């Protein structure tokens, strides 16, 4: 059944790193939720930029600068089209998801009052918790939490009860990095809007698997990191509705983000430049565009279908191991399996898997509240991408069995 959607062997050839060995074994890379691997087309784009048209953008009169500016702005348009934003100026280049969230959290400092309420979900990554706690410290706003259940889903009834006229902002991830749960963001957004609250969706873990349509979702802010979707590190995007981005003050001051500067008064540039102070990650932005081209050429429907098949197979095979427990038991999830084996520490399992060439994540996955909920120190997390194979799942499973025999 698996491998019917596309030619997996030809896809694997696009990723040079998949040929390497780790500790003498062929690499089995299952840490895609932390960062994905980079296809040759994206690597070539980076080499081409530095070999042929490296220059600072937006200011230069010379040809190289104009060329770099054009390609960078084309990348912004590719991102706009991919997420179906209404206008390119609603796409702000950031250094990644964390930067995008902090930009919005900082902007709301002047828009909140003491006693206003902010809602986050229990399934968040620390980068979608801490900036809001800092915002609460600055403003006197109060943080409320949508609880989760044992299956790793949000308890939506409780969410609806938390909403009131005092709610000003709601933050939730589209997909949980620790468990893979796909959250019902359509319902979350619509209910928040009914009480007049703005919504930020952290799309870091959704973007590699699901093509979000920000207009259809009617979301106010959506943030992603390129490095989780075949792009380079150090670049990402913040989508914001134009009306919201106009209301928020700039995050950082500097070059690029001004209209006019005198010592008496500075006026700010129009969107998107108002939020893009200083020389941006030009090459990164361009390579982000190339990564989207690459993934769209394969197609997100095909990617989702294939990854779901891998997920089902891996879940079934792992559950056949005695004492293995998977956290996040919901049908609506991406290809992430967080598990533990009774009596074993996740770190020990991860270390043995590494000796066998299998790369997984161990620990709290920057989501300590979820681990506290399950009363565990952490999990082993295997996260799959469209370039992983059924054979790699088999290697994972046999390596986990081997680790269990060695450790118990
Ligand atoms: N949110 C989620 C759900 C994530 O998985 C991550 C990365 N693990 C982040 C935010 C932070 O992304 P970045 O480190 O690229 O800023």
| Cβ proximity of 222 and 90 under 8 Å | no
**Distance from the CA of 234 to the center of ligand 1, in angstroms?**
12
Distances (CA, A) of 85 to 80, 82, 178, 219, 310: 5, 8, 28, 10, 31
Residue range 252-258: average pLDDT?
A: 89
Residue 93 is inside which H or E element, if any? strand 91-94
Last residue of a domain, one of 246, 262, 297: 297
Q: Which atom of ligand 1 is found nearest the CA of 176?
A: 3
Residue range 8-31: average pLDDT?
A: 97
Is 343 exposed, middle or buried, given 0-12, 13-18 or 19+ CB atoms closer than 10 A?
A: exposed
For residue 38, tell me if it sits in a domain: no
Residue range 291-320: average pLDDT?
A: 97
For 323-335, letters b (16+ CB in 10 Å) and e give ebbbbbeeeebbb
For position 334, what pLDDT does the model report? 98
If asked whether residues 75 and 163 sit together in one domain, one would say yes
For position 258, what pLDDT does the model report? 87
Query: Active-site residue 283, yes or no?
Result: no
- Of 136, 172, 230, 366, catalytic: 366
Last residue of a domain, one of 239, 267, 297: 297
If asked whether residues 206 and 139 sit together in one domain, one would say yes
Q: Which atom of ligand 1 is found nearest the CA of 228?
A: 15
335: domain CATH number? 3.90.1150.10
Residue range 52-60: average pLDDT?
A: 93
Number of domains the chain is built from = 2
For residue 37, tell me if it sits in a domain: no
**Distance from the CA of 232 to the center of ligand 1, in angstroms?**
14
CB under 6 Å to ligand 1: residues? 96-98, 125, 127-128, 173, 177, 202, 204-205, 225, 366
| Cβ proximity of 293 and 78 under 8 Å | yes
Range of the domain at 87: 43-297
- The secondary structure of residue 253, as a DSSP letter, is -
If asked whether residues 360 and 242 sit together in one domain, one would say no
For residue 165, tell me if it sits in a domain: yes
If asked whether residues 164 and 58 sit together in one domain, one would say yes
Token pair 């030809």 in the structure block, residue = 10
For position 6, what pLDDT does the model report? 82
What's the pLDDT tens digit per position in 13-24? 999 999 999 999
For residue 36, tell me if it sits in a domain: no
For residue 349, tell me if it sits in a domain: yes
If asked whether residues 329 and 342 sit together in one domain, one would say yes
For position 2, what pLDDT does the model report? 56
How many whole angstroms separate alpha carbon 282 and alpha carbon 287? 9
| Cβ proximity of 32 and 208 under 8 Å | yes
Q: Which atom of ligand 1 is found nearest the CA of 100?
A: 16
Last residue of a domain, one of 297, 326, 345: 297
Pocket test for ligand 1, best of 123, 177, 291 (most atoms within 8 A of CB): 177
For position 354, what pLDDT does the model report? 98
For residue 150, tell me if it sits in a domain: yes
If asked whether residues 387 and 329 sit together in one domain, one would say yes
The residues pairing with 238 across neighbouring beta strands, listed in sequence order, are 92, 223
How many whole angstroms separate alpha carbon 367 and alpha carbon 365? 5
For position 60, what pLDDT does the model report? 82
For position 408, what pLDDT does the model report? 87
- Work out the number of other CB atoms within 10 angstroms of the CB of residue 241: 20
Residue 133 is inside which H or E element, if any? helix 130-139
**Distance from the CA of 125 to the center of ligand 1, in angstroms?**
7
If asked whether residues 284 and 135 sit together in one domain, one would say yes
Q: Report residue 298's pLDDT band, with 50, 70 and 90 as the boundaries.
A: very high
pLDDT above 70 coverage of the chain, percent:
99
What's the pLDDT tens digit per position in 208-225? 999 999 999 999 999 999
Residue 332 is inside which H or E element, if any? none
**Distance from the CA of 97 to the center of ligand 1, in angstroms?**
6
| Cβ proximity of 5 and 305 under 8 Å | yes
If asked whether residues 231 and 86 sit together in one domain, one would say yes
If asked whether residues 286 and 315 sit together in one domain, one would say no
Q: Residue 182, SS3?
A: strand
Q: What mean pLDDT, rounded, does the chain reach?
A: 96
For residue 185, tell me if it sits in a domain: yes
Retrieve residue 284's tokens: 């990164």
How many whole angstroms separate alpha carbon 69 and alpha carbon 279? 12
Q: Report residue 5's pLDDT band, with 50, 70 and 90 as the boundaries.
A: confident
For position 329, what pLDDT does the model report? 87
If asked whether residues 247 and 171 sit together in one domain, one would say yes
190: domain CATH number? 3.40.640.10
For residue 3, tell me if it sits in a domain: no
How many whole angstroms separate alpha carbon 29 and alpha carbon 17? 9
End-to-end CA distance of the chain: 35
Q: Report residue 59's pLDDT band, with 50, 70 and 90 as the boundaries.
A: confident
If asked whether residues 111 and 164 sit together in one domain, one would say yes
**Distance from the CA of 172 to the center of ligand 1, in angstroms?**
12
Of residues 12, 10, 40, the one with CA closest to residue 27: 12
| Cβ proximity of 353 and 340 under 8 Å | no
Nearest CA to ligand 1 atom 14: 98
If asked whether residues 165 and 200 sit together in one domain, one would say yes
């Amino acid at each position: 059944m698996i491998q019917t959607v596309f030619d997996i062997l030809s896809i694997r050839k696009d990723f040079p790193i998949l040929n390497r060995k780790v500790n003498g074994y062929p690499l089995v890379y299952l840490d895609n939720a932390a960062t994905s691997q980079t296809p040759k087309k994206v690597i070539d784009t980076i080499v081409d930029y530095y070999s042929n048209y490296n220059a600072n953008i937006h200011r230069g009169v010379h040809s190289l600068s104009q060329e770099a500016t054009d390609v960078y702005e084309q990348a912004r348009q590719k991102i706009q089209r991919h997420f179906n934003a209404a206008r390119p100026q609603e796409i702000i280049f950031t250094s990644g998801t964390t930067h995008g969230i902090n930009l919005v959290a900082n902007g709301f400092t002047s828009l909140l009052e003491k006693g206003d309420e902010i809602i986050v979900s229990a399934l968040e990554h620390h980068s979608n918790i801490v900036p809001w706690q800092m915002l609460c410290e600055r403003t006197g706003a109060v943080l409320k939490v949508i609880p989760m259940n044992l299956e790793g889903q949000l308890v939506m009834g409780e969410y609806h009860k938390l909403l009131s006229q005092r709610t000003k902002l709601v933050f939730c991830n589209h997909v949980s990095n620790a468990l893979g749960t796909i959250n019902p963001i359509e319902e979350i957004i619509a209910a928040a809007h009914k009480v007049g609250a703005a919504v930020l969706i952290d799309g870091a873990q959704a973007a590699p698997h699901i093509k979000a349509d920000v207009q259809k979702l009617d979301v106010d802010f959506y943030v992603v990191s390129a490095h989780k979707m075949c792009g380079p590190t150090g670049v990402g995007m913040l989508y914001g509705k134009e009306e919201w981005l106009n209301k928020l003050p700039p995050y950082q001051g500097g070059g690029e983000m001004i209209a006019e500067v005198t010592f008496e008064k500075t006026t700010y540039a129009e969107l998107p430049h108002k939020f893009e102070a200083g020389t941006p990650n030009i090459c990164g932005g361009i390579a982000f565009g190339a990564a989207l081209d690459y993934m769209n050429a394969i197609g997100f429907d095909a990617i989702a279908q294939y990854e779901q098949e891998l997920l089902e197979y891996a879940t079934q095979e792992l559950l056949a191991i005695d004492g293995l427990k998977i956290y996040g038991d919901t049908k609506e999830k991406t290809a992430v399996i967080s598990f533990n084996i009774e009596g074993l520490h996740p770190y020990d399992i991860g270390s043995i898997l590494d000796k066998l060439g299998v790369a997984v994540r161990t620990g709290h996955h920057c989501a300590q509240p979820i681990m506290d909920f399950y009363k565990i120190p952490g999990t082993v997390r295997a996260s799959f991408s469209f370039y992983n194979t059924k054979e790699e799942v088999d290697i994972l499973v046999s390596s986990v069995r081997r680790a269990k025999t060695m450790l118990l």
